[in-house]
Structure 1
């Protein structure tokens, strides 16, 4: 890869640490409503500071509709104006790689830096799929909560996934 910055950057962020599941009185597991744990709030705030310090300001954020992913987005804090466009979507809740990839491919090419906040195992599987053989061992080992993978995207969003993308770094708070 050349030393010039990539045309686009894809930031894949696994939501921050959530509270434990509560089966509820009827045995229903309301996973969608789980909030962030104290550690999750701390880690998400730390990740926001890291993003700003490294000038990784997203133009757009795609966020799963679960409470823990929305709260992760909120805890990242404000970015410089103009504020990133945000799309909170049920489509991303516990999404598998094909659905995540489809949502990303729908993003307009005017977006230079895209942040996706989602869930494992789908988000981790997508990162591995996009990186292909170039995936570093640290990424192959897993994607823990509050961990972000930054990928270089040389194509438009609609063509994403047709070639191996360079993993620029894996960031943890």
Structure 2
């Protein structure tokens, strides 16, 4: 694998969670969230990106989102459940991505707002078409994802070094 080949980073916010009497970390998906997670999985499959690695927050709602979405993909990438993704800032998310092995070409990160939306904004030095306007107009709702392209090693990923290629969010 050559670092000259663009990497793909998909920043995927968990689907809609329920609000039962449990800690925030343990909140499960709501009925709408389960439906939206599967739809998002089909949309991820439509991107044609062959994911090598999934980095998923340990929160119940992110794990459930990924479990439903990954079933829609043509192949299941290696999944790492990472505690540091829960309530992470964009800077903390970049630090986790900087640790990604360089043999991982395409990565999906399943996390939470405001960190995921903030990271998409911070990484995207450029944007194709109206992708930035669509992303900012929607505010990164649950089950939304942003697709970014990046040239370089994971260790050198930093603000402004990626291009926002696409953005998708479920209709309400």
TM-score bracket, normalised by the shorter chain, equals 0.7 to 0.9
8 Å contact from structure 1 (residues 51, 57) kept in 2 = no
Q: Which residue of 2 aligns with 1:12?
A: 11
Distance in 2 between residues matched to 1:170 and 1:6, nearest whole Å: 21
User: 2:136 pairs with 136, 140, 161, which one?
Assistant: 140
Number of residue pairs the alignment of both structures matches: 162
Contact kept, 8 Å, 2:62 with 2:110, in 1: the verdict is: yes
Q: Secondary structure at the match of 2:158?
A: coil
- The 5 Å alignment of 1:11-160 reads 11-20=10-19, 22=21, 30-78=23-71, 79-81=73-75, 83-132=76-125, 134=127, 136-141=132-137, 142-160=139-157
Question: TM-score of the superposition, structure 2-length normalised?
Answer: 0.86
Mapped to 2, the partners of 1:58 and 1:51 lie a distance apart of: 10
Output the TM-score relative to the length of structure 1. 0.86
| Counterparts of 1:61 and 1:43, CA distance in 2 | 18
Q: How far has the Cα of 1:165 moved from its partner?
A: 1.4
How much does 1:138 deviate?
2.2
| CA deviations over 1:12-37 (Å, ceiling 9, x no partner) | 00000000253x6xxxxx00000001
Larger Rg: 1
Structure 2: tracts of 5 or more residues without a match: none
